[in-house]
Structure 1
Amino acid sequence: MGDSTAGPLVRPYTMTKGRTRPGTDGGRLDLITLVVTVADREDRAREPEHEAILRLCRKPVSVAEVSARLDVPLTVVRVLLSDLLVEGDLRTRAAAPVTKLPEKKVLQAVLDGIRRL
């Protein structure tokens, strides 16, 4: 289907072959999960969307960033990433843990110091 002003349109469900949920490995794909292409992956024909993801993920990239950079809805990206995980083309890495927040009394002391300025 085409649109003279927008160009050719590809519906998201076309990219995922009608699937709306990721496979079994897709359940661990939250917004900050890092995905990275496996260096020794097989050279075989893949869908263009999968190839675009593999090129983008040569260095670790978050799931949210994949969605943003490819301008593809997050739900679709999760399905496509799940496909690549099952095929062994991608690996996931947990995002860096959130550091422990300072205690309230430390934050209060900083705020009091700023107010004195």
Structure 2
Amino acid sequence: MENPDSELEITTEFVPAFVLTGGASLPSEEEFTRTTWVAVTEGGLNARIVVPESRKIRDLLGAGPLSVHEVTARVKVPLGVGRVLLAQLRDSGVITSRPAIPRAQKPDRALLNDVLNGLKAKLGA
């Protein structure tokens, strides 16, 4: 009788998320939102990185800063996994992060009218 395990072959590249992250937990929602900007540090370009996905992130950010959402999409990892990997890279000094620039608030219409009226009075228009 033939051994049933002899024909067993791994046919996918699926790696469970907890293997990629080393079992680390998610950082807080405020730390790495989808729009948080991340960039590699000068010293981070030469850092020794073991996890292939983290190395891909570092290499990707070598071309310039990106949002967390862009990084996870390009490296093809789930958002949660990407957030953990980014937190690990930040904690080891490979990358820096900063919150996204908030949307501008609508200007006060009354203030704009006052400015317009003042300019009209000053310039005689």
TM-score, normalised to structure 2, is 0.68
1:29 maps to which of 24, 27, 32: 32
Cα deviation for residue 10 of structure 1 reads: 1.0
Tell me, yes or no, if structure 1 residue 86 matches structure 2 residue 88.
no
Q: What is the percent sequence identity of the aligned residues? A: 32
Q: How many residue pairs get matched?
A: 100
Unpaired runs of 5+ in structure 2?
1-8, 110-125
Are 1:32 and 1:95, in contact at CA under 8 Å, matched by a contact in 2? Answer: yes
Q: How has the CA–CA distance of structure 1 residues 45 and 92 changed in structure 2, closer, same or farther, with 3 Å as cutoff?
A: closer
- State the alpha-carbon separation in 2 of the partners of residues 99 and 56 from structure 1: 29
Query: 1:53-92: per-residue Cα shift (whole Å, max 9, x none)?
Result: 1011121110111111111111101110010011000001
2:3 is aligned to none
**Shift of residue 96 of structure 1?**
2.1
Counterpart pick for 1:64 among 66, 69, 72: 69
**Does the CA-based 8 Å contact 2:47-2:94 persist in structure 1?**
no
Unaligned runs of 5+ in 1: 105-117
DSSP-derived class of the 1:35 partner: strand
Counterpart residue number, 2:82? 77
Q: Is the 8 A contact 1:20 1:75 kept in 2?
A: no
**1:21, 1:43 → 2: CA distance?**
23
User: How far 1:8 sits from its partner (Å)?
Assistant: 2.1
- 1:115 maps to which residue? none
**RMSD (CA atoms):** 2.5
Question: Structure 1 residues 38, 14: closer, same or farther in 2, change over 3 A?
Answer: same
Amino acid at match of 2:35: I
TM-score normalised over the length of structure 1: 0.72
Mapped to 1, the partners of 2:13 and 2:10 lie a distance apart of: 4
